[in-house]
A and B are shown apart, each in its own frame.
Chain A
């Protein structure tokens, strides 16, 4: 009974803190003390394994070439071609980077670190056409995923991807651009309503001169920095960016704001003030140690309370990664992963805006739910899917270029594509104990408690493989 109770707790822990767990591992860990399991989860996620897809040297060469081309007024045909070529290459590498991140989540042996990276990916939401910058930001989020929030915040603030996205590159002495300063407080640390417009103005002045140079490294340009006196939250000084970040972190509201977001991501869409307060206090008292807050959460009884188990709607990334990880899926045409993300409303590296994906019930509408319920049979049974949905606005220029007069009439009739994926069924079935019943498999694959309808739908005379496809196609599988 105790082992069974632990079985469900460990399963819940690995679904929320990671992307699921194999039956073999689950059985093993169910026999251990839960707190030790949490320690092990954090321990195994200590290793930081960055994405090293984008070639540093090649990217710098492209950046320099682009800078050269942008400064020229009239380009020759040759130069125009070169510029287009660079953009094409960057778009292609950006797609590869997206797939690399998804594959990392699918295959990682540091699940908590990847899950936290996904969390920070949404928290510090950023779009950047340059894949080298995008990879760098993703790696900053991964490297600091469980470390010091202060280090994470400073590094994100200095990352060229963010400097460009939030226009700090244009933030100069005498001509401040407030975009970064505003989002720093509204979305990254304090939350709306916890600062004044004056605080934004003064902090924007403090971040003047935070830029990146033409080969893509952070640089503090003293000559563009406003070194005058600033008044920020009642403090007066010749503040620079780091000082502003320090003052923001002195405020317990920052710990409160992050704790609330973590709670909503890992525990429940509906905030529980008392539980969030516990997390915020731990976070603040540990000087913003992220792992300490996570451990507090995963070892709290309320984390395993029934209202917090099997009640959260999986994000598209959690859904796709979880399914692929569980069944050892290989995508022969990885491009399909991008189409699926885009159709389901979470195209990684392309958040809707700097506020990130709203999450919760906003993931679900009639079309996204119908697609979600079909994906398991498409991925696990290799079906065909019709992707003729609308284009991403950023792809409009490419569409405009690639369309010819004759193809225009059929512009909305893109070809159907096969998912072309393979689940490793023998490997999956091998992880299951001998004689496991379809009902027991159902209990393993679904997070919500089984009800009579499901138990009656799952009959014992069906094979495990059929049962698995059926179960993952249920609305209950959308929850974790």
Chain B
């Protein structure tokens, strides 16, 4: 959105100040003393189905080389993490992160009866549903619904994007999507927008109209809060020049300026590498790793790394065997990355994928992705995971 005013040629001028209903007041008056204890979760989505086997490469397993004649990464190029697995050479930036103990790789995360459609599988990951279940709320959205202490504010969950993902939408509460806090602030301070909110107490109890006004008030209030809290902060770190790194830079700015946001959501797309995968995936992994390394070091220098947990997922992994176009087709289980300053288990969390025990050419999952979510909900966001995931999932010991 790139217009200074809502309306052109209408000559609309607002008068007076913005009316703030009583229930929004505490927002501005929140105590600042708990800020240092504030724990953040950052969710990174790799869209398109990242090929996990060429990301964390099982170079110690001959089957990998047999099944991927033209796209396998040579052992001497791999950044070895143990005798079995190592990172794609484009992920060199993460070597230092790994060596610092800020990184854990969880192998073979998936779910029963996997779906190979991008859309459906992304839906499943974002809602946390079973594969034959359709939910219209996301897992983070339901966390917002759960009445956690600060969840009443939409900025509790921020997606650095133009539109809000399903993951961030709850039944009664939703996160907020913004790419540029200053732009949102300008838009909500447009005279027309402010005039609409003025003296509008009477609509708040009406059902849908009240909901629209409540959303406007919350947007306006959140935009002011986010802008005013973060505008003074200047990052001293340098980030690589990519859209993805810019998103992370914005997240770092929010975290480091002490925004009371608990969940951040960013995404990087283009991973659907059916054709000539090596170059394409390599570029994306490089962007991902360099952005992530800059981000984590930035957080460390601001003393925020211990309060931050970052997870990375993709809607599915890819088939073990490559296709005839030097690419890979849609598969099932995949690895997840976890980053943070206080990981309980560092390096590689569980056994490498078993390439000889496949389900019609696809990896079998060892861990349900909802165990990962459940662990984060229980141990990091301090809610009971059964309340959010609709049934109890056993937690894991990575945090």
A interface residues (Cβ-Cβ under 8 A, vs B): 73-75, 80, 127, 182, 187, 269-270, 311-313, 343, 345, 350, 352-355, 358, 360-362, 364-371, 373-374, 377-378, 381, 383-391, 393-394, 396-397, 399-401, 403, 405, 408-413, 416, 448, 451, 453, 457, 462, 466, 469-470, 473-476, 478-479
Q: Which one of B57-65, B275-283, B305-313 is at the A interface? A: B275-283
Query: Smallest CB-CB separation from B198: which chain A residue?
Result: A453
| B208 on the A face (CB < 8 A) | yes
Q: Which one of B79-87, B210-218, B369-377 is at the A interface? A: B210-218
A358 / chain B contacts, CB cutoff of 8 Å: 136
- For the complex of A and B, the 6 pairs showing the least CB-CB separation, nearest first, are A412-B243, A396-B48, A396-B272, A393-B118, A358-B136, A389-B162
Find B1's partner among A360, A370, A396, A462 (CB 8 Å cutoff): A370
| B92 on the A face (CB < 8 A) | no
Give Cα distance in the complex from A74 to B136, angstroms.
42
Contacts A313-B208, A361-B211, A405-B283 supplied; 17 other A-B pairs, CB < 8 Å: A182-B132, A353-B120, A353-B123, A367-B164, A377-B7, A378-B3, A383-B3, A384-B3, A386-B1, A388-B179, A396-B270, A408-B242, A409-B242, A409-B287, A411-B243, A413-B243, A469-B9
B165 / chain A contacts, CB cutoff of 8 Å: 390
B284 / chain A contacts, CB cutoff of 8 Å: 408
B206 / chain A contacts, CB cutoff of 8 Å: 311
A343 / chain B contacts, CB cutoff of 8 Å: 162-163
Would A353 and B164 count as touching, CB distance under 8 A? no
| B271 on the A face (CB < 8 A) | yes
B219 / chain A contacts, CB cutoff of 8 Å: 366, 369-370
Distance of B284 from chain A, by nearest CB (Å): 7
B38 / chain A contacts, CB cutoff of 8 Å: none
B199 / chain A contacts, CB cutoff of 8 Å: 453
Find B177's partner among A270, A366, A405 (CB 8 Å cutoff): A366
Give Cα distance in the complex from A187 to B132, angstroms.
12
A73 / chain B contacts, CB cutoff of 8 Å: 324
B218 / chain A contacts, CB cutoff of 8 Å: 366
24 A-B contacts, Cβ less than 8 Å apart?
A80-B325, A311-B207, A313-B211, A345-B163, A362-B169, A364-B215, A365-B174, A366-B215, A367-B163, A371-B1, A374-B3, A374-B6, A378-B3, A381-B7, A384-B2, A390-B47, A390-B161, A394-B118, A403-B283, A408-B284, A412-B243, A413-B243, A448-B209, A470-B12
Would B270 and A411 count as touching, CB distance under 8 A? yes
Find A381's partner among B9, B49, B211 (CB 8 Å cutoff): B9
Give Cα distance in the complex from A479 to B176, angstroms.
22
Find B215's partner among A369, A385, A387, A405 (CB 8 Å cutoff): A369
| B200 on the A face (CB < 8 A) | yes
Distance of A51 from chain B, by nearest CB (Å): 23
Would B166 and A352 count as touching, CB distance under 8 A? yes
- List residues of B (188-238) whose CB comes within 8 Å of A's CBs: 188, 192-193, 195-196, 198-200, 202-203, 206-209, 211-213, 215-216, 218-219, 222
B162 / chain A contacts, CB cutoff of 8 Å: 343, 367, 386-390
A366 / chain B contacts, CB cutoff of 8 Å: 154, 164, 174, 176-177, 215, 218-219, 222
| B11 on the A face (CB < 8 A) | yes
| B54 on the A face (CB < 8 A) | no
| B298 on the A face (CB < 8 A) | no
- List residues of B (129-180) whose CB comes within 8 Å of A's CBs: 132, 134, 136, 154, 161-166, 169, 174-179
Would B6 and A399 count as touching, CB distance under 8 A? no
* A-B Cβ contacts below 8 A, count: 210
Give Cα distance in the complex from A182 to B134, angstroms.
12
Query: Smallest CB-CB separation from A352: which chain B residue?
Result: B123
Would A475 and B202 count as touching, CB distance under 8 A? no
| B322 on the A face (CB < 8 A) | no
Give Cα distance in the complex from A115 to B188, angstroms.
34
Give Cα distance in the complex from A410 to B244, angstroms.
9
| B294 on the A face (CB < 8 A) | no
B267 / chain A contacts, CB cutoff of 8 Å: 390
Distance of B185 from chain A, by nearest CB (Å): 12
* Residue from B179, B243, B246, B284 having most chain A Cβ neighbours under 10 A: B243
Query: Smallest CB-CB separation from B223: which chain A residue?
Result: A366
Give Cα distance in the complex from A369 to B154, angstroms.
14
Find B192's partner among A360, A361, A397, A470 (CB 8 Å cutoff): A470
Question: Beta-carbon contacts of B251-271 to A below 8 Å, as 1s and 0s?
Answer: 000000000000000010111
| B315 on the A face (CB < 8 A) | yes
Would B324 and A365 count as touching, CB distance under 8 A? no
* Residue from A345, A352, A366, A476 having most chain B Cβ neighbours under 10 A: A366
| B390 on the A face (CB < 8 A) | no
Query: Smallest CB-CB separation from B277: which chain A residue?
Result: A400
| B122 on the A face (CB < 8 A) | yes
Distance of A111 from chain B, by nearest CB (Å): 23
B216 / chain A contacts, CB cutoff of 8 Å: 369, 475
Query: Smallest CB-CB separation from A371: which chain B residue?
Result: B1
Would A396 and B47 count as touching, CB distance under 8 A? yes
Give Cα distance in the complex from A394 to B49, angstroms.
11
A387 / chain B contacts, CB cutoff of 8 Å: 162
Would B119 and A412 count as touching, CB distance under 8 A? no
* Residue from B134, B218, B242, B284 having most chain A Cβ neighbours under 10 A: B134
* Residue from A355, A412, A462 having most chain B Cβ neighbours under 10 A: A412
Would B208 and A405 count as touching, CB distance under 8 A? no
Give Cα distance in the complex from A411 to B280, angstroms.
13
Give Cα distance in the complex from A371 to B315, angstroms.
28
A383 / chain B contacts, CB cutoff of 8 Å: 3, 8
| B241 on the A face (CB < 8 A) | yes
Give Cα distance in the complex from A171 to B361, angstroms.
21
| B273 on the A face (CB < 8 A) | yes
CB within 8 Å for A400 and B123 given contacts A74-B324, A369-B212, A377-B6: no
| B300 on the A face (CB < 8 A) | no
Distance of B298 from chain A, by nearest CB (Å): 19
Would B47 and A391 count as touching, CB distance under 8 A? yes
Would B272 and A399 count as touching, CB distance under 8 A? yes
| B55 on the A face (CB < 8 A) | no
Query: Smallest CB-CB separation from B243: which chain A residue?
Result: A412
Would A408 and B211 count as touching, CB distance under 8 A? no
Would B198 and A396 count as touching, CB distance under 8 A? no
Would B269 and A353 count as touching, CB distance under 8 A? no
